[in-house]
């Protein structure tokens, strides 16, 4: 949803949602459950699942932006109370008078109440056989108890992608270079299987090569966003999606394919108007350096250019003026330890002017978390691989999120999952 449409349609939510809900529920002293998202919360991550499952059952709730770090107001029905108790989510019972007082506080400060209307249908882009390293989004969806389905190239290039509201991409390489893994993992069984599977898919779908097929997938994803889809991407998928989109007629995988340096004019022939977030990036010309371009500020796989990790800071937004950005940064921590990925961060000078920066490392030439619009939909890019595993390596054990129920980095992921629930129906004119 475009930001201006969201603002036009969400303004009445504070006044109209709760009276409607009040008419549908039986009267009781504890009519509501506040799900606090400050330090009173016992499991921040599972709190999102609690709200999501209420919406799946046909219920409605509200997201109190900037009130106690993005708390939720849910109707106090038996199913929600049992769900909260079962999953260890802290809730606070409220009567109507208490809710009225909170609404007064919200109206008077940098806060807002956003109606949550319908659970989005969630898809994760992944091959049928999951790779041996983990996907942070898949892990947190499972931990929070949010249902999702996996899609891959046939679904994206077919019609099924249109049935989903939200799509996640993670460590995919849409340039068709297999993340240049051959440089360090040649002969590894999982890499051989990855190459064979992708080549077979390109043949099945009648494309001349894997890079050509992956670019078609990238274009289909951009079209999905343009039609109104919500896209969230992390790690390699952020950078390589835009590189593939901009490489219209430019063979940016040639260096990887035959071991010779790339055409030195390739960067100048990229069509950045077709990309979502980035512009004027310089491609890595050497086939022996496992880096794609200078979009990534940390250059984790280039020893002479690799930058150390610091911390990134979430920006403050006006909840009433810019509720979209505000939703995406709701958190109980403003400063968060950074973490590596094949694409860790985004060079500030490579961002398009229309991009909204949600978080950066103050004083650094890179940013961490960005958002933008494309057609009727939106995209959000979050650099890095796993918020609780700063230097994750292939083959490492998956992160146990039961040890990180208050993870502020994983909260940012779940903000994006719940964001489409606030999408409004088109108004008749």
What are the tens digits of pLDDT across the range 68-89?
999 999 999 999 999 999 999 9
Q: Is the predicted pLDDT of residue 381 greater than 80, yes or no? A: yes
- Domain encompassing residue 317: 122-422
Residue 388 within any structural domain of the chain? yes
Residue 108 within any structural domain of the chain? yes
Q: Are residues 292 and 328 in the same domain?
A: yes
Provide the domain count of the chain: 2
CA 74 to chain centre: 24
The predicted-structure confidence for 256-286, as pLDDT tens digits, reads as follows 555 666 778 889 999 999 999 999 999 988 8
Report the share of the chain in percent with pLDDT over 70: 89
Out of 94, 116, 138, pick the residue that ends a domain: 116
Q: What is the pLDDT of residue 29?
A: 59
Q: Are residues 237 and 107 in the same domain?
A: no
The predicted-structure confidence for 123-133, as pLDDT tens digits, reads as follows 999 988 765 45
For the chain, report the end-to-end CA distance as a whole number of angstroms. Answer: 18
Q: What is the pLDDT of residue 2?
A: 55
What's the average model confidence in pLDDT over 341-368? 97
pLDDT band at 52 (very low <50, low <70, confident <90, very high): very high
CATH classification at residue 254: 3.40.50.880
Q: Decide: 411 and 418 in contact? Cβ < 8 Å.
A: no
Q: What is the pLDDT of residue 289?
A: 84
Out of 70, 85, 116, pick the residue that ends a domain: 116
Q: Which two tokens stand for residue 150?
A: 């996996």
Q: What is the pLDDT of residue 258?
A: 58
Residue 98 within any structural domain of the chain? yes
What's the average model confidence in pLDDT over 187-209? 90
Q: Are residues 344 and 418 in the same domain?
A: yes
pLDDT band at 28 (very low <50, low <70, confident <90, very high): very low
Q: Are residues 362 and 219 in the same domain?
A: yes
**Of 125-139, 218-232, 308-322, which gets the smallest average pLDDT?**
125-139
Report the share of the chain in percent with pLDDT over 90: 73
Residue 429 within any structural domain of the chain? no
Q: Are residues 202 and 277 in the same domain?
A: yes
Q: What is the pLDDT of residue 21?
A: 43
Q: Are residues 415 and 376 in the same domain?
A: yes
Out of 99, 116, 133, pick the residue that ends a domain: 116
Residue 192 within any structural domain of the chain? yes
Q: What is the pLDDT of residue 253?
A: 80
Q: Are residues 24 and 165 in the same domain?
A: no
User: Whole-angstrom Cα distance, residue 253 to residue 242?
Assistant: 14
Q: Decide: 226 and 378 in contact? Cβ < 8 Å.
A: no
pLDDT mean across residues, the chain: 89
User: Whole-angstrom Cα distance, residue 136 to residue 401?
Assistant: 10
Residue 428 within any structural domain of the chain? no
Q: Are residues 174 and 299 in the same domain?
A: yes
* 3-state secondary structure (DSSP) of residue 336: strand
Q: What is the pLDDT of residue 427?
A: 31
Q: Are residues 308 and 374 in the same domain?
A: yes
Q: What is the pLDDT of residue 11?
A: 47
Residue 289 within any structural domain of the chain? yes
- Give CA angle at 280 (382, 182), nearest 5°: 65
- HSE at residue 292, side-chain half, CA atoms within 13 A, is 32
What's the average model confidence in pLDDT over 193-217? 93
Return the higher-pLDDT residue of 148 and 27: 148
Q: Are residues 214 and 288 in the same domain?
A: yes
- Please say whether the dihedral angle defined by the alpha carbons of residues 326, 321, 4 and 56, taken in this order, is positive or negative: positive
Q: Are residues 152 and 97 in the same domain?
A: no
pLDDT band at 185 (very low <50, low <70, confident <90, very high): confident
* Of 133-147, 253-267, 291-305, 340-354, highest mean pLDDT: 340-354
Residue 37 within any structural domain of the chain? yes
Q: Are residues 21 and 157 in the same domain?
A: no
Break the chain down into helix, strand, coil percent, rounded to 5.
40, 15, 45
């Amino acid at each position: 949803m475009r930001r201006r449409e969201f603002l036009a349609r969400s303004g009445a939510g504070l006044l109209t949602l709760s009276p409607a809900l009040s008419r549908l529920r039986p009267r009781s002293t504890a009519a509501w459950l506040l799900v606090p998202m400050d330090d009173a919360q016992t499991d921040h991550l599972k709190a999102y699942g609690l709200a999501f499952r209420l919406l799946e059952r046909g219920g409605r709730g509200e997201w109190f932006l900037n009130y106690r770090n993005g708390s939720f107001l849910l109707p106090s029905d038996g199913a929600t109370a049992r769900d909260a108790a079962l999953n260890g989510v802290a809730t606070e019972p409220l009567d109507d008078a208490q809710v009225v007082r909170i609404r007064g506080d919200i109206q008077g400060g940098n806060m807002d109440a956003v109606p949550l209307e319908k659970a989005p249908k969630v898809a994760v882009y992944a091959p049928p056989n999951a790779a041996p390293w983990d996907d942070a989004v898949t892990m947190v969806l499972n931990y929070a108890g949010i249902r999702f389905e996996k899609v891959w190239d046939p679904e994206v290039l077919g019609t099924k992608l249109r049935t989903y509201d939200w799509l996640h991409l993670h460590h995919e390489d849409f340039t068709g270079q297999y993340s240049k893994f051959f440089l360090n993992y040649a002969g590894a069984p999982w890499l051989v299987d990855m190459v064979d599977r992708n080549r077979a898919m390109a043949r099945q779908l009648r494309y001349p090569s894997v890079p050509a097929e992956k670019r078609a997938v990238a274009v289909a994803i951009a079209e999905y966003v343009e039609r109104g889809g919500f896209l969230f991407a992390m790690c390699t998928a952020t950078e390589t999606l835009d590189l593939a989109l901009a490489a219209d007629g430019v063979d940016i995988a040639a260096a990887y394919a035959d071991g010779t340096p790339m055409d030195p004019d390739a960067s100048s022939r990229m069509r950045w108007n077709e990309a979502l977030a980035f512009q004027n990036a310089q491609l890595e010309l050497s086939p022996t350096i496992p880096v794609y371009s200078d979009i990534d500020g940390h250059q984790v796989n280039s020893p002479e250019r690799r930058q150390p990790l610091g911390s990134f800071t979430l920006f403050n937004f006006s909840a009433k003026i810019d509720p979209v950005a505000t939703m995406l940064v709701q958190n109980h921590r403003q400063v968060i330890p950074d973490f590596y990925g094949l694409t860790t961060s985004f060079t500030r000078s490579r961002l398009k002017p229309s991009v909204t920066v949600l978080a950066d490392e103050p004083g650094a030439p890179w940013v961490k978390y960005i958002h933008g619009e494309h057609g009727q939909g939106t995209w959000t890019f979050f650099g890095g691989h796993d918020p609780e595993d700063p230097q994750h390596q292939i083959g490492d054990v998956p992160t146990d999120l039961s040890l990180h129920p208050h993870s502020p980095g994983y909260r940012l992921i779940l903000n994006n999952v719940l964001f489409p629930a606030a999408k409004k129906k088109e108004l008749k004119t």
